[in-house]
Amino acid sequence: MEVKEALKNRRTVRLYQQKNVPDSDLAEMIDAARVTSCASNLQQLRYIVIRDSKLVKEIFPLTAWANLVRPSRTPESGISAPRCFIAVIASASANQVIYADAGAAIQSMQLMAWSKGLGCCWLGSIQRDKLKILFELPDDKQVLYLVAVGYPAEKPVAEDVPDGKSVFYYLDEQKCLHIPKIRLEDVATWR
Ligand SMILES: Cc1cc2nc3c(=O)[nH]c(=O)nc-3n(C[C@H](O)[C@H](O)[C@H](O)COP(=O)(O)O)c2cc1C
């Protein structure tokens, strides 16, 4: 898959087929994150790949999905829930730049996943303290984000909108999720 195509077409996926993701694909996602740009090349991020079904179920109540269209894009256990999560971990004392590192790494993971026919949901609305206990992390570590991974059971679409128009994502009559993106001519000035 072309990089351009993946960049333009990748969408957050929140409903998943009940099919396991191969470990080799998950490993390639982590490998993509591993070689991504990071501040001073310090490589401070670590990852926990969770496929164990009991642990996946325990993670689920500690997440929140698509607030704007709730509950329509909250996956249901055994029907549309992801079977895999990747937790992005860092030192508890890391400085703010760690969020930039995590963002770049997660985008790499999402694009690698997309190129393999997988969809992701980057999750920031998570109960970090409870996840830390669940993952048995020591005090000096923190959970930054979760990334849900699975085979898509929905096809969200992006649409260009002028700056100032609502950017709230919404469902149409067919329950397809639309993601407004501010159009190119409105996001950049050229000097
Ligand atoms: C930092 C960050 C945190 C996010 N947290 C959540 C979340 O907790 N739950 C959720 O359903 N989506 C979450 N998302 C996904 C965004 O809602 C999604 O990226 C946005 O609606 C744009 O859709 P797109 O990824 O298809 O372009 C998060 C995205 C980012 C970058």
- Domain of 24, CATH number, reads 3.40.109.10
Based on the domain organization, do 12 and 27 belong to the same domain? yes
- Write phi, then psi, for 91 (nearest 5 degrees): -65, 145
Pocket test for ligand 1, best of 68, 121, 131, 169 (most atoms within 8 A of CB): 121
CA 27 to chain centre: 16
Q: What is the pLDDT of residue 141?
A: 98
Q: What is the pLDDT of residue 101?
A: 98
Based on the domain organization, do 81 and 127 belong to the same domain? yes
Number of domains in the chain: 2
Number of separate helices (H) and strands (E) present in the chain: 6, 7
Based on the domain organization, do 110 and 77 belong to the same domain? yes
Q: Which residues line ligand 1 (CB under 6 A)?
A: 11-12, 14, 64-66, 121-125, 156, 169, 179
Query: CA 158 to CA 179: how far, in whole Å?
Result: 4
Q: What is the pLDDT of residue 32?
A: 98
CA 172 to chain centre: 23
Q: What is the pLDDT of residue 21?
A: 98
Q: Report which secondary-structure segment, H or E, holds 48.
A: strand 46-50
Based on the domain organization, do 147 and 161 belong to the same domain? no
Based on the domain organization, do 54 and 136 belong to the same domain? yes
Based on the domain organization, do 145 and 164 belong to the same domain? no
Domain that holds residue 76: 3-154
C-alpha gyration radius of the chain: 17
Average pLDDT of the chain, as a whole number: 97
Residue with the nearest Cα to atom 15 of ligand 1?
Answer: 122
Please give the model's pTM, rounded to 2 decimal places. Answer: 0.97
- Domain of 167, CATH number, reads 2.20.180
Based on the domain organization, do 106 and 118 belong to the same domain? yes
Ranges of residues in the chain whose predicted pLDDT is under 50: none
Q: What is the pLDDT of residue 136?
A: 98
